[in-house]
Amino acid sequence: MKCSLLKNTGSFLQGLAIILSATLLPGVVAAQEPQDCMAKVGIELSYGLPVSMPDELYGASRLAEAADKYRLAVGDPNCPGDVSFIVAGEVSSPGEYNLKAPVNLLNALLTAGGPTHAGSMRRIQVFHGGSLLGEYDLYGFFNEGRIVDDFVFNGGEHVVVMPHGARVSVSGSVAAPAVFELKPVEMSLQYLMEYCGGFSAGEGIYRIEVVRVANLKRNIVFSSDVKSDAKLPEFQLVAGDRVSVYKKVDRLPGMTSVQFPDGSRREFSLDNIARLSHLLKELEPLSENVSMSYAELLRAGRSDKKYEVIGISIEALSRMIAAGDTSFDLVLRPDDRLMLFDREFIEKKPIVGLEIAGQAPVFTDYKAGMKISDLLRAIEVELPGRAKNVRINRRRLSGAKIESSNLLVDISAVRRGSRRHDVELQPFDVLMIQP
């Protein structure tokens, strides 16, 4: 069975857009009132709430767009040219290139497609004749449109993109929610807030929380209320920290809501409900048609009026709490919305999908042992001639929280019949293709 999200395919597919769009961090959906949950589908899904892409690595989309435009402008970079150079390390298309002069470091990086997800945006080394000429930072390009201290190549340069350093995410009421790569001297709230553009919801008091995951436990290691015009507290961040920022509103008692698979909703006062487990207890007994393996908490507070999406396994959370581990028992905030999904579609009818940038995702039934080549035959869509960025988006359970990862795919090798590159799929995998 093959289905497109442009068709009315049931409550699970209406929620699936969020499940599949989440990457390393929670995704986002527009914070507006839901419409008829069976009416609008396509990219704008999840009970009528439009879906957009998750918070990304800072500057990643801008760099990818610049690389696409530049490679179109220069034509074939392997044709004879005035300047020859090598780009290696954690870069999308490593190799030797030849371009017409003048060529600088930015040109070289864009020709090779920029750093991969594992590559650093902050540590680009350039060698010549075995000697290190310097180390460069792409954040200057994102902020000023150029690489600080960029220079013209003479030929023979060897550019190496190093593995990424410490990454910290920030979400909520900030101007640019994203994942930032921080240097050792920048591991503070002050540097992070400067990079993300600061508070975005006007003057007032903001709550800043830092969540740290260790040994599969999610712990709030810092929480403080800060005036928008005050100096930020001193706090040492570590790699993997997740910083949440939201503006405090003087209104009591505050409400949270639950939306059920049939689109109906119930609201609850936060007077007596402080955590997610308290809310779930109020819902007992849950209907048998509600999925226990996947739910979502939609959290308001972003400057773009969109919800932050947190994937949750209710059954895993219940097991952890019964064992005395409350590290994933989220503290609820005003306007949080718990989204419950249909068990039949999520747990009994696994699917896999394919999404080409700019087109509606298409899904088909998952079969055990299914590989990428099987997916391409089942869906029968015309693939772009030169697909530069191809990855598998895969969900995974971390504690009680559902996250996802990206696996890079050499789609050309798959189409040539390479068994090594023909990755075996898992339920709800989506093959994402960027022409």
Write the pLDDT tens digit of every residue in 223-257: 888 998 889 999 999 998 889 888 876 655 678 99
Cβ atoms within 10 A of the Cβ of 284, count?
6
Shared domain for 158 and 182, answered yes or no, is no
The encoded tokens of residue 375 equal: 């997916």
Residue 351 pLDDT more than 90?
no
The encoded tokens of residue 80 equal: 């004879």
Residue 2 pLDDT more than 60?
no
**Cβ–Cβ < 8 Å for 219, 241:** no
Domain boundary among 163, 198, 228: 163
Could you tell me the residue range of the domain that residue 154 belongs to? 60-163
pLDDT of residue 17: 35
Shared domain for 140 and 201, answered yes or no, is no
In the chain, what percentage of residues exceed pLDDT 90? 19
Strand, coil or helix: what is 276?
helix
Helix (H) or strand (E) holding 277: helix 276-282
The encoded tokens of residue 335 equal: 């306007």
Shared domain for 77 and 156, answered yes or no, is yes
pLDDT of residue 268: 92
**Cβ–Cβ < 8 Å for 197, 174:** yes
pLDDT of residue 100: 87
Residue 277 pLDDT more than 50?
yes
Q: Sorting pLDDT into bands at 50, 70 and 90, what band is 53?
A: very low
Q: How far apart are alpha carbons 37 and 46 in whole angstroms?
A: 8
Shared domain for 103 and 195, answered yes or no, is no
Residue 368 pLDDT more than 80?
yes
Percent helix / strand / coil, the chain, rounded to 5: 20, 35, 45
Convert the pLDDT of each residue in 10-32 to its tens digit. 333 333 433 333 323 333 333 33
Q: Sorting pLDDT into bands at 50, 70 and 90, what band is 4?
A: very low
Picking from 162-171, 193-202, 351-360, which range would have the lowest pLDDT averaged per residue?
351-360
Q: Which of 138, 116, 146, 131 is nearest to 183 (CA)?
A: 138
> How do 242-247 and 167-172 pair as beta strands?
parallel
Shared domain for 153 and 89, answered yes or no, is yes
Shared domain for 392 and 430, answered yes or no, is yes
pLDDT of residue 240: 87
Beta strands (DSSP E) in 248-388 are 255-259, 265-269, 290-299, 306-312, 337-342, 351-356, 362-365
Q: Looking at the 3D structure of the chain, how many domains does it have? A: 3
Residue 346 pLDDT more than 80?
no
Task: Output the CA angle 234-169-15, nearest 5 degrees.
Answer: 140
**Residue 66 or 387, more confident:** 66
Shared domain for 64 and 153, answered yes or no, is yes
Q: Mean pLDDT for the chain?
A: 77
Residue 106 pLDDT more than 60?
yes
Q: How far apart are alpha carbons 368 and 356 in whole angstroms?
A: 24
Domain boundary among 218, 247, 276: 247
Shared domain for 149 and 196, answered yes or no, is no
Picking from 37-46, 297-306, 398-407, which range would have the lowest pLDDT averaged per residue?
37-46
Shared domain for 146 and 181, answered yes or no, is no
pLDDT of residue 20: 35
In a domain, 124, yes or no: yes
pLDDT of residue 305: 62
In a domain, 340, yes or no: no
pLDDT of residue 171: 85
Q: Sorting pLDDT into bands at 50, 70 and 90, what band is 156?
A: very high
In a domain, 259, yes or no: no
In a domain, 2, yes or no: no
Residue 276 pLDDT more than 50?
yes
Cβ atoms within 10 A of the Cβ of 22, count?
24
Convert the pLDDT of each residue in 163-186 to its tens digit. 999 999 898 888 888 889 999 999
Picking from 156-160, 164-168, 314-318, 342-346, which range would have the lowest pLDDT averaged per residue?
342-346
Residue 38 pLDDT more than 80?
no
CATH code where residue 97 lies? 3.10.560.10
pLDDT of residue 73: 67
pLDDT of residue 255: 85
pLDDT of residue 344: 79
Q: Sorting pLDDT into bands at 50, 70 and 90, what band is 219?
A: confident
In the chain, what percentage of residues exceed pLDDT 70? 77
The encoded tokens of residue 106 equal: 């930015």
In a domain, 120, yes or no: yes
**Cβ–Cβ < 8 Å for 342, 261:** yes
Q: Which of 219, 243, 220, 218 is nearest to 232 (CA)?
A: 243
Convert the pLDDT of each residue in 305-327 to its tens digit. 666 777 788 888 888 888 888 77
Q: Is the peptide bond before 184 cis (omega within 30 degrees of 0)?
A: no
Shared domain for 181 and 135, answered yes or no, is no
Write the DSSP string, 340-360: EEEHHHHHHS-EEEEEETTS-
Q: What is the CA radius of gyration of the chain?
A: 23
Q: What is the dihedral of CA 279, 284, 290, 291, to 10 degrees?
A: 70
Segment 399-414 mean pLDDT:
70
CATH code where residue 373 lies? 3.10.560
Q: How far apart are alpha carbons 176 and 159 in whole angstroms?
A: 29
pLDDT of residue 253: 64
